[in-house]
């Protein structure tokens, strides 16, 4: 078998997402393809880390779209590798990988003796409407990308299904012409404490404003109402 790109079903198989017939066909391919076998071993090892990396988590509706949009925004000059729409399994694997990476970053941070990476931004997020609301965010550049450590004691627990979303916002951002990149979503714990590490590819020099919005969890990818923000340097 000549070298070829890894089989597109590997990600779905690693997370148990294939139908029995598809899984059997892929297993047969793995028996004869060292190329895919190597990738399979790597993906499977990563998939096995998921339950240990983060508590069970429902992927927010719209994450898949936002993940792809963010990737497209980050690489405006790169020619598309493939023009057809990626198979659903690949998109699902990408979304799962985004969640997984978030979990792994949290784990690696909690195992470290302290924060790693180069400090890029240390911001206090405030609300013009409600001075009792506040959060602090520390952005660091690491070899794995940027991490954003977010802390708050004042963000209220949202109604069931809702969540907060942190954004890097660039100049000229508007509803009609968005110029922002999501750093991910989060919930405070039951006691109303937020202590999370998110990650994003956006450069704070290009997207200097941090914004936290509330999202009702209705699947609409447009940002919800802003609750906190901070202008960068
Ligand atoms: Zn193969």
| Cα 75 to ligand 1 centre (Å) | 28
Query: Distance between CA 201 and CA 188 in Å, rounded?
Result: 23
pLDDT greater than 70 at residue 105: no
DSSP 12: H
Mean pLDDT of the chain: 80
State residue 159's pLDDT score: 86
| Residue pLDDT, tens place only, 127-171 | 988 999 999 999 998 877 788 999 999 999 988 888 999 999 999
| Cα 95 to ligand 1 centre (Å) | 23
| Cα 47 to ligand 1 centre (Å) | 19
Note the pTM of the prediction, 2 decimals.
Answer: 0.52
Q: Which residues pair with 136 in a beta bridge?
A: 124, 151
| Cα 36 to ligand 1 centre (Å) | 4
Spell out the domain ranges in the chain.
10-77+89-110, 113-231
| Cα 19 to ligand 1 centre (Å) | 19
* Residue carrying the six token digits 């704070």: 204
**The CATH number of domain 113-231 is 2.30.30:** no
| Cα 114 to ligand 1 centre (Å) | 41
**Contact (CB, 8 A) for 22 and 9:** yes
| Cα 15 to ligand 1 centre (Å) | 18
| Cα 25 to ligand 1 centre (Å) | 11
| Cα 31 to ligand 1 centre (Å) | 9
Q: How far is CA 230 from CA 103, 200, 204, in A?
A: 25, 17, 12
Query: Distance between CA 195 and CA 149 in Å, rounded?
Result: 7
Q: What share of the chain in percent tops pLDDT 90?
A: 29
Q: How far is CA 61 from CA 7, 64, 87, 95, in A?
A: 26, 7, 18, 11
| Cα 220 to ligand 1 centre (Å) | 37
| Cα 22 to ligand 1 centre (Å) | 14
Query: Distance between CA 93 and CA 41 in Å, rounded?
Result: 16
| Cα 130 to ligand 1 centre (Å) | 56
pLDDT greater than 50 at residue 6: yes
């Amino acid at each position: 078998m000549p070298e070829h790109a890894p089989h597109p079903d590997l990600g779905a198989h690693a997370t148990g997402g294939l139908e029995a017939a598809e899984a059997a066909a892929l297993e047969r391919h793995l028996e004869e393809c060292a190329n895919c076998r190597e990738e399979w071993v790597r993906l499977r090892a990563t998939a096995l880390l998921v339950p240990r990396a983060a508590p069970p988590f429902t992927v927010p509706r719209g994450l898949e779209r936002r993940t792809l949009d963010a990737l497209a925004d980050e690489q405006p000059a790169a020619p598309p590798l493939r023009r057809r729409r990626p198979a659903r399994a690949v998109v699902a694997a990408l979304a799962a990988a985004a969640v997984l990476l978030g979990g792994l970053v949290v784990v690696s941070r909690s195992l470290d003796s302290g924060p790693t990476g180069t400090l890029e931004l240390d911001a206090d997020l405030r609300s013009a409407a409600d001075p009792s609301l506040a959060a602090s965010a520390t952005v660091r550049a690491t070899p794995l990308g940027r991490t954003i450590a977010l802390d708050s004691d004042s963000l209220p627990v949202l109604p069931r299904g809702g969540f907060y979303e942190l954004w890097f916002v660039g100049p000229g951002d508007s509803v009609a012409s968005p110029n922002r990149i999501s750093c991910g979503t989060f919930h405070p714990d039951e006691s109303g404490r937020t202590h999370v590490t998110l990650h994003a590819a956006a450069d704070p020099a290009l997207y200097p404003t941090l914004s936290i919005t509330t999202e009702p969890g209705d699947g609409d990818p447009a940002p919800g109402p802003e609750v906190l923000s901070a202008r960068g340097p």
